[in-house]
Amino acid sequence: MSVSMPDGSMEIPERKDVPAELKWKLEDIYASDELWEADVASLLGRLPELASLQGRIGQSAEDLLKGLDLLNEINMIAAKIYVYARMRKDEDNANSKHQAMYERAASLVVQVSSTASFIRPELLEVDEDTLEEYMAENAELELYRHFLHDISRMRAHTLSAPEERLIAMAGEVGEAVSSIFTMLNDADIKFGSIVDEEGNTVELTKGRYTRFMESPDRRVRKETYDALYSSYGSLINTIGSTYSASVKSDAFNARARRYDTCLEAALDKNNIPVKVYSNLLEAVRDRLGLMHRYVALRKKALKLDDVHMYDIYAPIVPDIEWTVTYEEAKKTVCEGLAPLGDEYVSILGAGLESGWVDVVESRGKTSGAYSWGEYGTHPYVLLNWQDNLDNMFTLAHEMGHAMHSHYSWTTQPYVYSDYSIFLAEIASTANEVLLMEHLLGLTEDQVRRMYLLNHLLEQFRGTLYRQTMFAEFEKIAHERYEAGQALTPDALNDIYLQLNRDYYGDEIVLDDRIALEWARIPHFYSAFYVYQYATGFSAAVALAESILEHGDPARDRYIEFLRGGRSKYPLDLLRDAGVDMTSPDPIHRALDVFEKSLEEMETYFRG
């Protein structure tokens, strides 16, 4: 159900017909496109000034401060130019003027990056004692202490200038592997057709896959599952070679930079010790019995003689009519986030009413949802609103990102204003957890309550369990290559099939086709990325539960976490908030919530 326009129409409107109160205000970034053009010209005029510092930036405290200040100023303007152009394009991708602005902005960002590429290598040529002397000589450099420390800690893994140039050139080859898979996965592969619930023959696409896998008609689910994996199976040798090449590229970069393993190399970018990864895998494996019970619950609730992999996405509580208008969602989200305090809710509420959010679908608008923006302005949220419960959770999620950005941007100087990707999903997920607890507290109807719990359990299955299984697959695959073993399609299939057997247990029928699922996961071409979804989810649940249990002290620590940006390393910011991700405790605390919710659903379906 689409959100209705003020005239009652349910048609997808043209951009010009969307009321102003349902649009974001990009004018808060640039009041006109002409002012954007002026910043583009100004930035281009400043690049020679930055380039003139090449060979000098590490020569004195004065040059160092000048270079870092100038770099921040240029990066801030470039990001503002890029964000504005991209979001203008996202309003209507058919608008040729904004298409051209975006392409120019993207090119400008590359130009800035190229001009500034000398800075990091030159800083690494300055020894730490000299950097300390510079900071003692000029107090203004103290601002950059953490920034400079983060660069310095990578000294052992940074090569000479000629070697770095070779690594950069080789990097283009590595990136080509991901591009090849993307073209194969997004453009070339076809999945054929299936017969839907009404008997219509329809083309299967990746966009339609999830909807059909959630169908109450088991025949539709099985046909969808078979069609999708048949297509990947027909290309498995090509995809296997592509993924093997990606792993080889990871290993080349890790060895070239003197890391012992690919995993260590990937995690070191955010200063994350390997034991964080190991703790996640071990803690989830310790609690796999809960997932096995969830599969058994599905079998009982769906009244099936056996559960197959194509039954995993089917809702175990019948879909119910739960209409939520955008106005209702705004009110409910603010009420649900009350545990975060009056200040948080006041800023959130004001943002919802003052041009932070682009609400409704319009012709040419980018699909999906995201939160974005840039330092010096307020954050923005793109939605394509539908009047349902899922969209209310999406609003809470994206506003979690937005509020994290708001607190970080308004607290930190620009150099530390952007939080690490390791922390990126915590604030958004914490909002969803708090909203869920609020709705469960209000819901007396047992069917609706089970519907909410099913939603929560699916979040755990899809994020904590599934992403951890992905993370374990990546670890095994890379370790096998590092040990000199070949990553053939059969070998990769065997690894993935065994992981599914371990994670889902004996209650599920492991159709052979599930062994092919690894072949369709784009994130595997960004090695050791997906574990952060699981750690972020665990940390968010632990933080939300602590706020609900301990009140103001836990809330105040959490708000300070939101304000932290990159002023400390990710694990230190989380530790200050009360969550130690070097311990398995946050994962177990999150899984305690899963177990409690599972027990309630088991009791309901036994009755």
Determine whether 562 is exposed, middle or buried from the number of CB atoms within 10 Å of its CB (0-12, 13-18, 19+): buried
Residue 552, phi-psi category: left (phi > 0), alpha (psi -120 to 50), beta (remainder): alpha
Q: Summarize pLDDT for 373-412 with one digit per residue, the tens.
A: 999 999 999 999 999 999 999 999 999 999 999 999 999 9
Of 338, 540, 510, 503, the C-alpha closest to 424 is 540
Q: Where are the domains of the chain?
A: 27-158
Q: Are 3 and 324 in contact (CB under 8 A)?
A: no
CB 174 within 8 A of CB 265: no
Give the residue-averaged pLDDT of 91-105: 94
Exposure pattern of 154-180 as b/e (b: 16+ CB <10 Å)?
eeeebeeeeebeebeeeeeebeebbeb
Work out the mean pLDDT of the chain and round it to a whole number: 94
Closest residue by Cα to residue 371 from 361, 362, 382, 360: 382
Strands 193-195 and 201-203: antiparallel
SS3 call for 549: helix
Cα–Cα separations (whole angstroms), residue 162 to 25, 114, 185, 332: 47, 16, 36, 57
Compute the distance between CA of residue 491 and CA of residue 3 in angstroms, rounded to an integer.
48
Q: Which residues of 452-469 are buried (b: 16+ CB within 10 A; e: fewer)?
A: bbbbbbebbbebbbbbbb
Q: Which percentage of the chain shows pLDDT scores above 90?
A: 88
Q: What is the mean pLDDT of the segment spanning 315-328? A: 90
pLDDT at 353 over 50: yes
Which H or E run includes 358?
strand 357-358
> How confident is the model over 502-558, as pLDDT tens digits?
999 999 999 889 999 999 999 999 999 999 999 999 999 999 999 999 999 999 999
Between 167 and 17, the more confident residue is 17
What whole-number distance in Å separates Cα of residue 338 and Cα of residue 526? 37
DSSP result, 1-37: -BPPPTTS--SPPPGGGS-GGGS--GGGT-SSHHHHH
CATH class of 27-158: mainly alpha
For residues 486 and 507, the answer to whether their CB atoms sit within 8 Å is no
What is the secondary structure of 149-184 as a DSSP string? Answer: HHHHTTGGG---HHHHHHHHHHHHHHHHHHHHHHHI
The pLDDT tens digits of the residues spanning 243-265 come to 999 999 999 999 999 999 999 99
Q: Please identify which residue in the block is written with the tokens 């919710």.
A: 597
Calculate ∠ Cα 537-539-541, nearest 5°: 70
Please give the full DSSP string across 216-264, using - where no structure is assigned. S-HHHHHHHHHHHHHHHHHTHHHHHHHHHHHHHHHHHHHHHTT-SSHHH
**pLDDT-derived band at 160, boundaries 50, 70, 90:** confident
Q: Which helix (H) or strand (E) holds 370?
A: strand 370-372
Distance CA 185, CA 454 (A): 30
Active site residues: 398
pTM (2 decimals)?
A: 0.92
What is the reported pLDDT for 2? 45
Q: φ, ψ for residue 86 (rounded to 5)?
A: -65, -45
User: What does the pLDDT read at residue 341?
Assistant: 98
The token pair that represents 243 in the structure block: 């993924």
Are the C-beta atoms of residues 200 and 208 closer than 8 Å to each other?
no
Residue 1 confidence (pLDDT) above 50: no
Q: Where residue 10 falls among pLDDT bands split at 50, 70, 90? A: low
Q: pLDDT tens digits, residue range 363-374?
A: 999 988 999 999
- Given this model, what pLDDT does residue 141 score? 97
Predicted pLDDT of residue 6: 47
Q: Express each pLDDT in 26-60 by its tens digit.
A: 999 999 999 999 999 999 999 999 999 999 999 99
d(CA 211, CA 217): 11
Q: What is the rounded CA–CA span in Å between residue 578 and residue 235? A: 47
**What torsion do the CA atoms of 500, 502, 506, 508 make, to the nearest 10 degrees?**
-20
Q: Is 56 exposed, middle or buried (0-12, 13-18, 19+ CB in 10 A)?
A: middle
- Which pLDDT score is estimated for 7? 47
Which pLDDT does position 524 carry in this prediction? 96
In 3D space, the residue among 371, 297, 307, 196 whose CA is nearest the CA of residue 594 turns out to be 297
pLDDT tens profile 119-158: 988 999 999 999 999 999 999 999 999 999 999 999 899 8
Say how far apart CA 219 and CA 67 lie, in whole Å: 64
Per-residue confidence (pLDDT) for residue 257, from 0 to 100: 94
Spatial distance between the Cα atoms of 103 and 166, rounded to a whole number of angstroms: 28
Closest CA to 489 of 182, 180, 238: 238
Q: Is the pLDDT of residue 316 over 60?
A: yes
What is the per-residue pLDDT for 179? 86
518 contacts 499 by C-beta, under 8 angstroms: no
pLDDT tens for residues 439-483? 999 999 999 999 999 999 999 999 999 999 999 999 999 999 999
